Every structure is written in structure tokens, then in C-alpha cells.
Structure 1
Amino acid sequence: MSIRTEVKGAAYWITFDNEKRKNALSNKIYDELCQAMDEANQMEEILITVITGAGEYYSSGNDFSPSEAAGVDHNDLDYESGYSKFMRRIIGHNKVLIGLINGPAIGIACTTLGLFDYLVCSDSAYFLTPFPTIGVVPEGASSVTFERIMGTSNATEMLLFGEPMSAQKALSRGFVSHVFPKAEFVQKAGALVEKFAKLPKHSVLASKELCRGQKWRREMLSVHTEEYAQLRKMFVHEDTINLIMSKFMKAKM
């Protein structure tokens, strides 16, 4: 499986549906995510785009399996990863983007949340950016958004040192707006979306443009471009290659 999409009133729902891989993001899933984001953007009746996960995880982040890495050349300047394409969709999205974080959000699944307009999570969720353990650098524009949301020390703790952030810490740091019990998460998070989706679309979307219009989009695209350039360098660095091989690939052989 990959993703599921559904329209509920004025809300376009995207659900990561790759439970066997803890909703890891493969190249196929990135392609489908981009298509879904484009579709939501083009639908006149849509006010809100929702992204959530099926099962226990929101998403475990990028799929680093050997099959996903095959044929990828980060030295090729014409190559653009699925992650980068997805980033451009998030930044350019003109609907209200809501994340319903049902469980752990790791790596790119965590960092991109700083670009969402509104987040709630389950008390079973945690947020992890394990960059130092695999020898890479922050992405998802988190090198800027995390510090703005939660302050320098909290951002440093996550992005430089790879420390996890619990659901309650995410609430106290202003990263999420609500934490709901796991058993009630689907019902309570869904009720919020249903409530917000009844607001006047023309007004809410005009307000989003004031808060996160072209100036913000230009800045975030610039941040993404800088991060992506550094990531390319990391992925061809010998130490990073060895760390990723050790962590993800040898265990699958």
C-alpha cells in the first residue's frame, strides 16, 4: 500500500497507508503525495488538506531500503528526490494544511511539520530527527522553522543532537495545538477538522495568504534549496554512506 485519499466535505484527506513499513516514505509514495497535493490545490471546494497516518505510526520517515537507493546519484545535478518535489508542494500549497499526528513522526515526516498550518497529535506520538546518527543534516526547512516555533535550545536539542520530543513537550513548546488520548484521537481530531471545514472558505484562505503568502513561500523555498544542497553532499560522504549502510541496509541482508 502507499496512500489513501478521500474528500469529506471541504476537507481533502491524505492518509499514509504503508503500515508494514511504519508508513515509511518510498519514491512511489512521494509521487502519489505530489499528485494528491496537486489535486487538492486544484479543487475549488476544498478548504483544508489533512495529512495523517494509518496504524501506529504517522510515518517513520524516508525509506532507506536498498531497493529505494538503487539508481540514485546525488552527484547528478539533474536529479531531484521525491522529498524535494514534496517540499515544493507543501510550500506552495494554497489550502490550509493540517497534520493529524496519530503516532511517531520521524525524520522528514517530522521536519516538514514545521511548514504545516496546524498540528494536533496523539499522546502516543513522539517527534524524532535522527540526523547525527546517520550523518546527514536538517531538511524540511526545519533549520529555520524549528527555531522560530520552539526556540534555539529546543531546536538544537532535536536537530543537532537527535533527542526525541514527546507529545507533551511538543505541546508545551508550541509545536502542536492539542494532544488527544490515543483511544480518542481519530474521533477528536476528526471533529476539529469537521468544525474548521465549515468556516467561510474565501475568508480563511485569504487569511492564510496574509500569514503565509508569497514572501513566506520564497523564503522557505530558499531554505529548502540550501538544505537540499547540503544533503546532496552528505549522501555522497563516505562516513554518511557507512552509517546508513550500518543502520538500515545490513539489517535487511
Structure 2
Amino acid sequence: MSIRTEIKGSAYWIVFDNAKRKNAISNKMYDELCKVMDDANENEDIMLTIITGEGEYYSSGNDFSPNETAGVDHSDLDYESGYSRWMRRLIRHTKVLIALVNGPAIGIAATTLGLFDYVVCSDSTYISTPFPTLGVCPEGTSSVVFERIMGTSNATEMLLFGEPMSAKQCLDRGFVSHVFPKAEFKQRAAALVEKYSKLPKHSVLASKELCRGQKWRREMLSVHNEEYDLLRKLFVHEDTINLIMNKFMKAKM
């Protein structure tokens, strides 16, 4: 399996279910993510959209295995990656987005957390943005959102230098609202969702629109487009190709 869903009352649960690969997000998973997020957004009974991971990881980010990257031409302006299509869904989503980060979140799984309305994590979590080691640049709107959340120096440490952020740092820097012990995470996170799902939907969704309405969406889409244009250029840079080959490809040979 790859993406699993379940509706519980007014909450639409989306689960990264690819634990054998640390919930790395494949092209097929991006297709599924876009579909289920559309389903949640169009369901009038839904107030909360929940994303979490199965197993030890929330998600290790994009799947860079040879099968996933073969034939992809980032210089083709008519090509849009699954990640980019998912980004547009996250930004345009009208339901309250909640991330239950059950373990490490890496790359796109880490940067997109800044687009969620509410984030909690387990004490086994770390947030990793290994852009310099891969020769790429910030994505997921993190080039703007991370600085707003945690300040310039902390954002620079992560986005330019690739330093990870521990669960405690996530809490101290205002990146998450709660850190729960790993053994209690599922139960306590689910209890929060159940508690919030009982609130009046018309009021909660109206407030979400007030906080993150069309002005915010236009800004975030513009940030995403700028990041994605730069990523296209970097992905076809010789140095970036070699760095990705060395990290992901040769290990498979």
C-alpha cells in the first residue's frame, strides 16, 4: 500500500503507508495524495484533514530511486512533478490541515509542514532539510515560511546549511504545538483530533478562511512557483546530478 484513508466523523485521515521505504513518496503516491486531498476538500461533512505516517517515519521525502526518476526531464516546462501538484492542493485546501508527525520528516515532508494549520510531533521526530548535500534549494514554501515561524538564523541553519531540527527544537522554535512521547503519540494525537472535531464546523472553517484565505494562497502559490522554477534549473545542473547519483543511485547498484 502507499496512501491509506479513513473518515472518522468530521476528520479525513490520510496516512503515508509505505513503511518499508520509510514512507518515501513515490510518483504513484503523489497521484493518490492529490486525489484524496481533493476528496477531503470537496466533502461537505469534513472539517479536519489529517496527515500522518505509518511505522517509524512520518516520511523520508521524495523517492529518488532509479525507477522513480527515470525519464523525468525537469527542463521540460510542460512537465509538472507530483510534488508540485500536491503543493497546490495543500495551499488551496479549505479544511483545517493537521499534521501528526509520528517520526522523522525529511525533505518535502519537512518543508510542507509550514503550510499546515496545526502540527504536533512525537519525541522521536527530527526535521531534516538536506538541500545543500543534494545540490538543490528550499521547496514547500520553506524559503519564506520557515523564517516567519522560527526566525532568520534558525531558518538559515536548516535551509542553507542542512542542519536537522530535533523535536525539542521544533517545540522551542514554535514549529509544533505539542511533543508527545513516542509510546503515547498515536493515542494522544488522536484524542486531540477527536476533541477538535467536535467544534462547530461552520465557525472553524470560517476562521480558517479568515486566517489563510485568498491573499495568503496567492502569496504561497507565488513562493512555490519561484522555488519550483529554481529547482528545475538545479535538477539539471551537472553537480546536482552527481550528488543525487552518489547518494541514491550508486547504493542501489
Distance 2:75 2:161 in 1: 27
Distance 1:145 1:74 in 2: 25
Aligned partner of residue 87 in structure 1, secondary structure: helix
Matched letter for residue 220 of structure 2 = M
What whole-Å deviation, never above 9, does each CA across 1:154-200 have from its counterpart, x for those lacking one?
Answer: 00000000000000000000000000000000000000000000000
Name the counterpart of 1:241: 241
Name the counterpart of 1:73: 73
Name the counterpart of 2:47: 47
Where do 1:129-168 residues align within 5 Å? Answer: 129-168=129-168
Segments of 4+ moved more than 4 angstroms: none
Distance 1:21 1:137 in 2: 24
Name the counterpart of 1:216: 216
Distance 1:76 1:130 in 2: 25
Instruction: Kindly state the Cα deviation for residue 146 of structure 1 after the two structures are TM-superposed.
Output: 0.1
Matched letter for residue 238 of structure 2 = E
Instruction: Kindly state the Cα deviation for residue 106 of structure 1 after the two structures are TM-superposed.
Output: 0.2
Distance 2:77 2:131 in 1: 23
The runs of 5 or more residues in structure 2 that have no matched partner are none
Where do 1:1-253 residues align within 5 Å? Answer: 1-253=1-253
Instruction: Kindly state the Cα deviation for residue 71 of structure 1 after the two structures are TM-superposed.
Output: 1.2
Matched letter for residue 147 of structure 1 = E
What whole-Å deviation, never above 9, does each CA across 1:85-121 have from its counterpart, x for those lacking one?
Answer: 0000000000000000000000000000000000000
Matched letter for residue 105 of structure 1 = A
The runs of 5 or more residues in structure 1 that have no matched partner are none
Instruction: Kindly state the Cα deviation for residue 39 of structure 1 after the two structures are TM-superposed.
Output: 0.1
Matched letter for residue 124 of structure 1 = S
Aligned partner of residue 14 in structure 2, secondary structure: strand
Name the TM-score, length of structure 1 as normaliser: 1.00
Instruction: Kindly state the Cα deviation for residue 61 of structure 1 after the two structures are TM-superposed.
Output: 0.3
Name the TM-score, length of structure 2 as normaliser: 1.00
Identity %: 81
CA root-mean-square deviation: 0.3
Instruction: Kindly state the Cα deviation for residue 136 of structure 1 after the two structures are TM-superposed.
Output: 0.1
Number of aligned residue pairs: give it. 253
